[in-house]
Chain A
């Protein structure tokens, strides 16, 4: 096999320009794939990170039926204290779970004494929330940058609302909320900070302390609307979701219905559609790479066979087995693929490195100046390289078979 490779390498060297052009074409294909995967993948991961780390968490647990009615922020589908205890007990026993935060979500009227509007609010334990969605603090654009994220009596107001109603940190505002029993309750708060909007559900919600939320909503029991969970690794989402669902499956509410529902972030954020489109485009561009490699290698190997018909006739005449002739040409395709893949990988990694140095920024939704930091996993680089090489071998098979099946007499008399 070493000798076959040596002869194949020399034949490639013999047609240097053709070898260079074909390798360059493969390299460009690989560059396109790796750059796209690096940039689009990093954008996807950045956005997933933004969504999960600033609002959603990796998983959320609700009372069964809550998510279907989530637009109404129903207060009659809260998790009861015993259910919350059961859930927290489970979470404490799961090593993949890093933190969780129990939240009360509700809608309220928001007034600055001259104007009134609607606002969606989230009552949270500031410490638990900061551990579960660590990017939340970074969204506080005015005030509240030191000390606890929230203290009772303070409110984090969404930036769009603050701008529209000309509200500043330190202003007093009134929240009026409908309670579980249908009555309304009002309470004054001091604006503790202005919160930048984030892409995705809950990205324009205001925050207050969970104790204030319970007081405003006149909750007799410490109920919660949801529990957001942060995992140590995003890769564990499916496993933890399955484990939690299995463990909570047997827990029924007083009506005998399943008490809990567990959702991964994908089920709660429309960004997942964009993420899937990016994945799909990855597949498309990989198919394009296969096409480029297939056509270029097949073309160049057909040329190689056509130009060396007499040479094939000679080696066949002196006793070279057809299988060995096949390998001679497959080896050329393999080497071309390896050469192109190696060059493409080196160029791509250099391009990704340069892009990281350039620190390009982009805007997405309400978020601005997101820094593009493209990276690519070693596994993906290896996969794309292997895909190109395997395609090159596949593409050289047909011309190689043609060479191996050539009649020596006809080949020797080929002009």
Chain B
């Protein structure tokens, strides 16, 4: 059973009265535990597709099922609940909450989204801090961390709720090559350790090499390079 199934998925934006086709009737399946990259130049529709899979946006055509849920029908609150329960996000700019420490940032989804008990939160945060190798930075604020350290915190925050799927939009865009490589390795080891499916977007060839499955996007249309998933044009 696919974790993500898109069928003739489309997204058309209205740009000041002019329709812009960001995603053109793409069809693909992503299996659980996959490490998937959507690659393509800027404006190819990578971010739009990730937003659709992340239930942050609604398609204008086709069907999309994520974690056995038809997410095209979800309302605003249901979508928020769905994201909180099943998805994790890693952002290009890390997007940590500046007033919270690294540990508190990781704890945030457990506390403010899922409302988990304190003991469980403490244990999960401790486990994640160790897993991403920043246990000694637990009490540092984001402005006291380097870019790589921030992205490690962001990965830990995405994984702390044990999501089925983590979506990372250009997770290495703001990192130097060595740090980018480390972060990608970290995400892959997290995938091995927690069995989480990772989908990330990138246009960095060095990052693409780490992916097990690569979907190439050109002007909103899709083709598949790698072996695990399956894709077809709509």
Among candidates B57, B80, B85, residue contacting A316 with C-beta atoms closer than 8 Å: B80
A310 located at the interface, meaning its Cβ lies under 8 Å from any Cβ of chain B in the complex: yes
Known contacts being A310-B93, A408-B56, A409-B56, is A320 close to B80, with CB within 8 Å?
A: yes
Interface range, B side: 20 to 34
Give the Cβ gap from A10 to chain B, nearest Cβ, in Å: 4
Chain B neighbourhood of A322, CB < 8 A: 76-77, 80
Q: How many residue pairs between the two chains, A and B, have CB atoms under 8 Å in the bound complex?
A: 69
A321 located at the interface, meaning its Cβ lies under 8 Å from any Cβ of chain B in the complex: yes
Over the window 226-251 of chain A, the binary record of Cβ atoms lying under 8 Å from chain B Cβ atoms (1 yes, 0 no) is 00000000000000000000000000
Q: Which residue of B lies closest to A321 (CB)?
A: B80
Query: Whole-angstrom distance between the alpha carbons of A343 and B33 in the complex?
Result: 56
A3 located at the interface, meaning its Cβ lies under 8 Å from any Cβ of chain B in the complex: yes
Query: Whole-angstrom distance between the alpha carbons of A314 and B100 in the complex?
Result: 14
**A412 near B91: Cβ-Cβ < 8 Å:** yes
**B54 near A320: Cβ-Cβ < 8 Å:** no
A220 located at the interface, meaning its Cβ lies under 8 Å from any Cβ of chain B in the complex: no
Query: Whole-angstrom distance between the alpha carbons of A10 and B104 in the complex?
Result: 12
Known contacts being A322-B80, A409-B51, A409-B57, is A315 close to B97, with CB within 8 Å?
A: yes
Within 8 A of B (CB), among A275-334: 310-311, 313-322, 324
Among candidates A4, A7, A412, residue contacting B100 with C-beta atoms closer than 8 Å: A7
Query: Whole-angstrom distance between the alpha carbons of A10 and B100 in the complex?
Result: 8
Chain B neighbourhood of A10, CB < 8 A: 99-100
Give the Cβ gap from A7 to chain B, nearest Cβ, in Å: 7
Q: Which residue of B lies closest to A316 (CB)?
A: B80
**B95 near A319: Cβ-Cβ < 8 Å:** no
> Which of A13, A14, A318, A408 has most B Cβ within 10 Å?
A318
A11 located at the interface, meaning its Cβ lies under 8 Å from any Cβ of chain B in the complex: yes
Query: Whole-angstrom distance between the alpha carbons of A7 and B108 in the complex?
Result: 10
Among candidates A4, A310, A320, residue contacting B113 with C-beta atoms closer than 8 Å: A320
Among candidates A3, A14, A313, A317, residue contacting B99 with C-beta atoms closer than 8 Å: A14
Q: Which residue of A lies closest to B98 (CB)?
A: A14
Chain B neighbourhood of A13, CB < 8 A: 99
Query: Whole-angstrom distance between the alpha carbons of A322 and B79 in the complex?
Result: 11
Number of A residues whose C-beta is below 8 Å from B? 23
Chain B neighbourhood of A320, CB < 8 A: 80, 84, 112-113
Chain B neighbourhood of A321, CB < 8 A: 77, 80-81, 113
Give the Cβ gap from A299 to chain B, nearest Cβ, in Å: 21
Over the window 80-123 of chain B, the binary record of Cβ atoms lying under 8 Å from chain A Cβ atoms (1 yes, 0 no) is 11111101110101010111100000001101111000000000
Q: Which residue of B lies closest to A310 (CB)?
A: B95
Chain B neighbourhood of A317, CB < 8 A: 54, 56, 83, 89, 91
Known contacts being A310-B93, A409-B57, A412-B91, is A318 close to B98, with CB within 8 Å?
A: no
B5 located at the interface, meaning its Cβ lies under 8 Å from any Cβ of chain A in the complex: no
**A319 near B99: Cβ-Cβ < 8 Å:** no
**A318 near B51: Cβ-Cβ < 8 Å:** no
Query: Whole-angstrom distance between the alpha carbons of A60 and B56 in the complex?
Result: 76
B157 located at the interface, meaning its Cβ lies under 8 Å from any Cβ of chain A in the complex: yes
Q: Which residue of A lies closest to B107 (CB)?
A: A3
> Which of B80, B83, B114 has most A Cβ within 10 Å?
B80
Q: Which residue of A lies closest to B51 (CB)?
A: A409
Chain A neighbourhood of B77, CB < 8 A: 321-322
Known contacts being A314-B91, A314-B95, is A319 close to B54, with CB within 8 Å?
A: no
Chain A neighbourhood of B51, CB < 8 A: 409
A-B pairs, 9 with minimum CB distance: A319-B84, A10-B99, A314-B95, A319-B113, A319-B83, A14-B99, A408-B56, A409-B56, A321-B80
B contacts, CB < 8 Å to A = 51, 54, 56-57, 76-77, 80-85, 87-89, 91, 93, 95, 97-100, 108-109, 111-114, 157-158
